Amino acid sequence: METVVHNPGLDGVVVGESAICQIDETRGSLRYRGYAIEDLAEQATFEEVSFLLLHGDLPSSCDLQEWQAELTYAGSLPTVVGQFLQTVPSSAPLMDVLRTGVSFLGMIDTEAQDVSHEANLRKATRLLAQMPLLLSWAVRTRYDHPVLKVPATKSFAQSLLYLLTGDLRESHAKELEVSLNLYAEHELNASTFAARVTASTLADLYGAVTAAIATLKGPLHGGANEGVAEMFYAIREPEEAQGWIHAKLRGKERVMGFGHRVLKHEDPRSAIIKRRAKALSQQADETRWYEIAEIIERTMKEEKGLLPNLDFYTAVVYQLIGIPKQAFTPIFVTSRMSGWCAHIIEQQDHNRLIRPRASYIGHPAREFLYIGDR
C-alpha cells in the first residue's frame, strides 16, 4: 500500500507552478517576476510594480503613461455602488465592506463571467483602481469625515493617502508606496491560495478576489499589523515594553508581527520597512513607537528566537503617517489586489481544478442499522 505523507497546513507541499513570485527560504530572498524586492520596494513606483505583476515585465515610459491613464480612467465607482454603500452601517468592519463591495462590483460588471486573459486584465485594472475609493468611503464615513475626490495627476500612493487622510505630502506618500510595493505579492499565502482554488473552478475574477479578502480578514493572516498597533497602544511607553512582552510570554499569549510560515529565518521585507520606520521616526521627531518596537524585537529574539515580519514595523510607519488603525489590513487588500489578480489570471490561463485529498482518521467501515435497531 502506498505511503501517504501528511503535512498539516500543507507545509512544504508544492501544489503548482507560478512565474509570479519566487521565495528563497534559505537565502531569505523575495523576487517579483525575477526582480529583487530590495530594488523594487524603494526604487519603483506602485504603478510599475502592479504593471509588472499583471503584465509580466516592467513598463517602458510609454507603457507606464498608458497604464497610469488606464488606472485614472477606471478610478470611479458606478452610481449604484455609491447607493449601495449608503446602506452599509458605519460600524461594519472595513474588511467586510471591501469584500461585499467587490462582490457587488462583480454583479454589475457585464464582463464578470468572461474568464479570458484580456477580460481578466481589464477587470483587474478596474478593481485595482476602485479599491482606494471603496476603502476611502468606508474609512471616512466611519469618522463622519467628508468623502474626498481623487486628486488630479497624483500617483496611486499619493491618491490613496489623500483619500484616507487628506494628506498630500509626497514624503508620506513615498512611505505608503514602499509598503504597497512590499505587500503587493507573496506567492501562495493563504489568501492567494484561496483565490487560486476559487479561480480553478472557473469562477469569475470577482468571486476569486472576494474569497481572497474573506481569507485575509483572519487574524492569522492579514490582521497582524492592526494587532501590532494595538500592542503599541497598550504599552504606550518604551520603558514598559520589555515587562509587557515578558508578561505575554509567561501567559503563553501570541505576540503579533513575529515569525513567518515560509521565511523561517528572516523576512527581507522587514529589514526594508524597519529602515524606513527609523528614518521617518527621526524626521518626525516622534521616536516612541520605534523605540517600543526595537525593544519588543530584541526581547522576542532573545526569548523565542523569533524575528519580525513585514507587519511589525509597517505598523510604526502607518501610525506616523496618520493611517487609521482600522485601515491597516484594508490597505494590504488595496496593494495585494495586484498580486491576487496576477495569480487568478495565471491560474485560468493554464487551468487545472485544484482538488487535494485528506488523510481519513474517522471510524473504520461500519454496518448500517435501521432506526429501530440503533
Q: Which element (helix H / strand E) includes 36?
A: strand 35-36
Q: What are the angstrom distances between the C-alpha of 92 and each of 139, 141, 224, 265?
A: 10, 11, 19, 37
Closest CA to 9 of 193, 173, 162, 157: 193
Cα–Cα distance for residue pair 274/294, rounded to 1 Å: 9
Catalytic residue (one of 109, 267, 311, 343): 311
Closest CA to 102 of 352, 344, 348: 344
Catalytic residue (one of 260, 265, 267, 373): 260
CA atoms within 13 A on the CB side of 109: 26
Cα–Cα distance for residue pair 72/98, rounded to 1 Å: 20
DSSP conformation class of 152: T
Cα–Cα distance for residue pair 355/177, rounded to 1 Å: 37
Cell of 137: 468611503
Cell of 106: 462583480
Dihedrals phi, psi of 170, to nearest 5 degrees: -65, -35
Cell of 279: 528614518
Alpha-helix residue ranges (DSSP H) falling in the chain: 37-43, 46-55, 61-74, 79-85, 94-108, 117-142, 156-165, 170-183, 190-200, 205-216, 224-235, 238-250, 268-284, 288-304, 310-320, 328-349
Cα–Cα distance for residue pair 104/89, rounded to 1 Å: 16
* Catalytic annotation present for 260: yes
Catalytically annotated residues: 260, 311
